Amino acid sequence: MKKFIHITAILCAAGLSSRMGETNKLLLNYRGTSLVHRSVRALVDSCVHDIIVVLGYERELVRQAIGSPSGVLQFVYNPNFENGQTSTIQAGLSHISPHSDAFMICLADMPLLTCEHVDKLAMHFQSQSTPDRPLMCRPVQKDLPGHPVIFDASFAIKLMNCIESDGCRSVIRENIDFLVPYLTDDVAFFTDVDNYDKYLELL
């Protein structure tokens, strides 16, 4: 895919994995590698220009699981990771390049997502964007929202000022008129590993 605009990916890899019990879900193995490594690999091989990986809970173990894939990664530590996903997004945004035209909020527990999925979503965002109308874009299947979510860079200030702990959901809700859905039935955009039952089902 031709890189028409500068997109920064922010990978949220700081969570407590509380619904997994004592297991950090990002370290779970799927098809020979950890969930977090697969997520990083999909971004490294995609059209995004740079990648910010936000660490928190068990940051050293997660960092080791990522390894050293080719491509430039910027690691950021969120000391407030226990406060929820919004704090992780804000930690990533505080290190975003001033050259970024857009940023992509990515989850680190979506093992079916590949670089092709990321590229298709980015292409749809680019095809709908205009200089005078900043947009948000996310995968949608009927009424089911998916991930990743792409925001025009102008939305960074809204996310930085967000006081809700629900990640980007409240910002999307408050600016719903600027949301462009990427309509798809591809399960990769909607499959995450929230608990051990979902992990077993995935296997």
Q: What is the pLDDT of residue 74?
A: 95
What distance in Å separates the CA atoms of residue 22 and residue 26, rounded to the nearest whole number?
12
pLDDT reading at 32 higher than 50: yes
Sign of CA dihedral 117, 121, 181, 197: positive
Q: Where are the beta strands (DSSP E) in 28-90?
A: 29-30, 33-34, 50-55, 73-77
Using an 8 Å Cβ cutoff, are 173 and 155 in contact?
A: no
CATH placement of domain 7-202: 3.90.550.10
pLDDT digits (tens, 9 = 90+) for 121-167: 999 999 998 878 899 999 999 989 999 999 999 999 999 999 998 88
Compute CA 85 distance to the chain's CA centroid, rounded to the nearest angstrom: 11
* Beta strand residue intervals within the chain, DSSP E: 7-13, 29-30, 33-34, 50-55, 73-77, 102-107, 136-141, 144-145, 149-152, 179-183
- With a cut of 60, say whether residue 2 has pLDDT above it: no
Higher pLDDT, 111 or 69: 111
How far lies 132's CA from each of 87, 127, 154, 175, 178, in Å? 29, 14, 11, 16, 12
Predicted TM-score (pTM) of the model is 0.94
Instruction: Enumerate the β-bridge partners of residue 31.
Output: none
pLDDT digits (tens, 9 = 90+) for 60-104: 999 999 988 766 799 999 999 999 999 999 999 999 999 999 999
For 39, 65, 68, 92, 203, the CA distances from 22, given in Å and listed in that order, are: 21, 17, 26, 26, 19
Among 4, 9, 5, 37, smallest CA distance to 118 is for 9
**CB-based contact 134:154 (threshold 8 Å):** yes
Cβ atoms of 8 and 96 closer than 8 Å = yes
What is the Cα–Cα distance from 12 to 130, expressed in whole angstroms?
A: 28
